[in-house]
C-alpha cells in the first residue's frame, strides 16, 4: 500500500486528537450521570425514604442504550463534520497561495493600467487584501443565513461561490475583472462558508472549542502547502527561472488552464465538506427556509435540516443573550479588534510578499526554493500554528499564550531582513511568522465563542474586520516605508505594531 503523504497526515492527526478527546468526554458523561443517579438512589434507600422512585431501574434499563447512542452520534456525524470543516478550509486557505501565484500572473494583469511593462510593486499584490475584505463582508452573512437555512445549505452556497469565482477568473482580461471574480466572488464565498464548521463543531464538542477550531482551521494552513506545490508543478513543470521578474511566455500561456483546474479542485473540496455539516440532535433549531419548503410534506428529515439521525431531541432552554449590536459596540470588542489589527499585520504582510522579497535577494532568487519555503511555512507555520495556539489557549487561557505570540512575532519581524541573510534562516523566519499568524486566526474565534457564547459566531463576523483592515494596512504602509528606508524599515515598523497588541493584552484584559 502506498504511504500517505506528509501534508495529509497532519490534519488527520489533528482531527484524531481533537475528536478522540471530545468523544472520550462524551462517553464519560452518561456514565457519570448514571453513577450519580445510582448514588442518589442508594442514599435515599439508606435514609429510609419510602418515596417511590424509578430512577435506578430506568438507569439500569437505559444504561446499555444511552452511552452507545451518544458515542455513535459523536464519533460519526460529529467527526465527519470536522473532517468536512477541514475540507472547506482547504478551499478557503487557497487564498494564501497568492504570494506564489502572483509571480506567474501575466504582466498585463498585474497593474490597473494593463501596462505589461509596469514598474515598482505590482497592483495585483492587493488581490489577497481584497479577498480578506470580501471575506470580512461575507462573514456576518454566514451566521445570519445559518439561522435561516441551516449550516449545510449555507456552507454549500459559499462553496459554490468559491469554485465559480476562481474558475471564472481564468477568463479575466484586466486586473479589475480578475479582482471582481477571484477576490470578490471567491472572498464572499469564503466568508459565508468559513464559520459553519465552527458553529456545528462547537455544538458537537462544546468543551473543546479551542482544539476544534484549531483542527478545522489547520486545513487553511495545510491548503497553502498543498496548493503552492501543485500550482508550481502545473504551471512551471520545467522549473524555469524568472529573469528580471519575468518568466518565459509559455508560463503565462498556462495561466488560464491553471485557474480552471484549481477552481474545480477548490469547488469539489468545499462542496463535499459542506454536505458533511450537521447539527447534533440535542440542538433543536428551526430553519424558516426548510420549514417553508416542507410544509406540504412529512416532518423534516434530519438530512434536510442538517441534523444527525438516531437520537431523540432534548429540550434546550436558551438563556437571555445581549444583542449583537451592544456586544460589537462594547469596550471589550474594541480592545480585541485593536489587538487583531496590530498583531495580524506582520504575518499577513509576510505571507503576501515573501516571494517578492526573496526574488530581489540574489542568494534567495530561485522559484523552486521560494515555492518550497512557502509550502513549508504553510504546513509547519500556518497550519501547525493554528492547532498549537488553539490548544495552548484551551489549557492556559487566552491572555498568556497571546502575549507570548506577540513577543515572538515582534522580534522575528523586526529582524526579518537580517534573518534573510541565508536560505536556512530565511526559511526559519518565514515559518515562525506564519506560525504566529496562524495563532491569531485560531485563538480569536475560539475566544469569541467562549466570551460571547451563543452570539460568538455573529460577533466574530464583525471582529474579523480587523483582519481585513490589517491586510490593507500592511501593503499601504509597506509601499510608503519602502521608499523611505527599504525593506528593513518596513519590517521594523510592522514588527513594532505587535508590541501594541502586547500592551493591550497586558493592561486591558
Grid cell locating 255? 495561466
Nearest to 131 by CA among 382, 348, 343, 333: 348
CA distance 292 to 223: 37
Nearest to 164 by CA among 146, 152, 145, 180: 180
Spell out the per-residue pLDDT of the chain, length 509, in tens.
344 444 444 444 444 444 444 444 444 444 444 444 444 444 444 444 444 444 333 333 343 343 344 444 456 788 899 999 999 999 998 988 887 888 899 988 988 888 766 666 788 888 988 998 899 889 889 888 998 889 999 999 999 999 999 999 999 999 999 999 999 999 999 999 998 998 898 888 887 777 787 788 878 778 877 888 899 889 988 887 777 778 888 999 999 999 999 999 999 999 999 999 998 888 777 888 777 777 655 544 455 455 555 444 444 444 566 888 999 999 999 999 999 999 999 998 998 788 889 988 999 988 788 878 987 888 888 888 888 888 888 889 999 999 999 999 999 999 999 999 999 999 999 999 999 998 998 899 889 988 998 788 889 989 988 988 898 888 889 889 988 988 999 999 999 999 999 999 999 87
Contact 342, 497 (CB under 8 A): yes
> For residue 70, what pLDDT is reported?
40
- The CA R_g of the chain, rounded to the nearest whole Å, is 25
Grid cell locating 234? 502545473
> For residue 390, what pLDDT is reported?
82
> For residue 353, what pLDDT is reported?
84
DSSP state of 284: -
CA distance 2 to 324: 50
CA distance 434 to 100: 15
Please count the CA atoms within 13 angstroms of the CA of 395 that sit on its side-chain side. Answer: 7
> For residue 354, what pLDDT is reported?
87
Which CB contacts under 8 angstroms, 24+ apart, belong to 108-111? 108/174, 109/172, 109/174, 109/175, 109/178, 110/175, 111/175
Grid cell locating 129? 487584501
Category of 280 on φ-ψ map: left (φ > 0), alpha (ψ -120 to 50) or beta: beta
> For residue 243, what pLDDT is reported?
77
Domains of the chain (ranges; CATH) run: 74-283 (1.20.1250.20), 327-508 (1.20.1250.20)
Largest Cα separation within the chain, whole Å, is 94
Q: Which residues contact 104 (CB under 8 A, 6 or more apart)?
A: 231, 235, 236, 247, 251, 252, 255, 258
Q: Which residues contact 334 (CB under 8 A, 6 or more apart)?
A: none
CA distance 221 to 383: 4
Residue 212 main-chain phi, psi, to 5 deg? -65, -50
Amino acid at each position: 500500500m502506498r504511504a500517505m503523504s506528509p501534508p495529509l497526515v497532519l490534519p488527520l492527526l489533528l482531527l484524531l486528537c481533537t475528536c478522540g478527546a471530545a468523544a472520550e468526554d462524551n462517553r464519560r458523561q452518561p456514565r457519570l450521570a448514571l453513577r450519580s443517579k445510582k448514588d442518589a438512589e442508594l442514599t435515599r434507600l439508606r435514609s429510609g425514604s419510602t418515596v417511590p422512585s424509578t430512577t435506578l431501574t430506568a438507569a439500569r434499563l437505559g444504561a446499555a442504550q444511552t452511552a452507545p447512542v451518544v458515542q455513535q452520534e459523536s464519533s460519526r456525524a460529529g467527526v465527519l463534520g470536522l473532517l468536512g470543516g477541514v475540507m472547506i478550509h482547504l478551499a478557503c486557505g487557497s487564498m494564501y497561495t497568492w504570494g506564489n501565484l502572483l509571480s506567474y500572473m501575466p504582466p498585463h494583469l498585474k497593474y490597473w493600467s494593463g501596462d505589461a511593462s509596469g514598474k515598482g510593486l505590482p497592483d495585483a499584490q492587493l488581490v489577497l487584501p481584497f479577498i480578506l475584505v470580501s471575506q470580512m463582508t461575507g462573514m456576518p452573512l454566514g451566521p445570519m443565513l445559518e439561522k435561516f437555512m441551516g449550516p449545510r445549505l449555507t456552507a454549500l452556497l459559499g462553496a459554490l461561490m468559491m469554485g465559480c469565482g476562481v474558475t471564472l477568473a481564468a477568463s479575466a482580461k484586466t486586473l479589475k475583472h480578475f479582482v471582481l471574480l477571484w477576490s470578490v466572488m471567491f472572498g464572499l464565498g469564503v466568508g459565508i462558508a468559513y464559520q459553519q464548521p465552527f458553529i456545528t463543531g462547537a455544538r458537537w464538542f462544546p468543551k473543546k472549542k479551542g482544539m476544534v477550531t484549531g483542527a478545522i482551521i489547520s486545513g487553511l494552513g495545510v491548503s497553502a502547502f498543498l496548493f503552492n506545490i501543485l500550482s508550481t508543478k502545473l504551471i512551471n513543470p520545467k522549473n524555469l527561472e524568472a529573469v528580471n521578474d519575468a518568466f518565459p511566455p509559455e508560463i503565462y500561456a498556462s495561466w488560464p488552464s491553471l485557474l480552471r483546474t484549481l477552481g474545480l479542485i477548490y469547488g469539489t473540496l468545499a462542496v463535499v465538506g459542506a454536505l458533511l455539516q450537521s447539527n447534533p440532535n440535542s440542538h433543536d433549531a428551526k430553519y424558516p427556509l426548510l420549514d417553508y419548503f416542507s410544509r406540504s410534506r412529512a416532518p423534516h428529515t434530519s438530512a434536510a435540516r442538517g441534523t444527525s439521525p438516531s437520537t431523540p431531541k432534548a429540550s434546550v432552554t436558551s438563556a437571555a443573550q445581549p444583542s449583537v449590536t451592544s456586544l460589537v459596540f462594547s469596550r471589550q470588542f474594541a480592545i480585541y479588534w485593536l489587538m487583531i489589527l496590530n498583531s495580524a499585520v506582520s504575518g499577513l504582510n509576510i505571507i503576501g510578499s515573501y516571494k517578492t522579497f526573496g526574488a530581489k535577494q540574489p542568494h534567495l532568487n530561485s522559484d523552486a526554493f521560494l515555492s518550497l519555503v512557502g509550502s513549508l511555512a504553510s504546513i509547519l507555520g500556518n497550519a501547525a500554528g493554528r492547532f498549537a495556539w488553539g490548544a495552548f489557549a484551551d489549557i492556559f487561557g487566552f491572555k498568556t499564550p497571546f502575549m507570548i505570540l506577540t513577543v515572538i512575532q515582534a522580534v522575528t519581524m523586526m529582524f526579518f531582513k537580517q534573518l534573510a541573510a541565508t536560505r536556512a534562516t530565511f526559511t526559519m523566519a518565514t515559518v515562525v511568522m506564519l506560525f504566529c499568524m496562524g495563532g491569531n486566526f485560531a485563538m480569536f474565534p475560539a475566544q469569541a465563542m467562549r466570551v460571547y457564547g451563543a452570539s460568538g459566531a455573529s460577533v466574530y463576523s464583525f471582529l474579523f474586520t480587523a483582519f481585513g483592515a490589517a491586510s490593507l494596512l500592511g501593503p499601504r504602509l509597506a509601499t510608503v516605508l519602502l521608499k523611505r528606508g527599504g525593506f528593513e524599515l518596513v519590517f521594523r515598523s510592522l514588527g513594532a505594531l505587535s508590541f501594541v497588541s502586547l500592551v493591550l493584552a497586558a493592561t486591558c484584559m
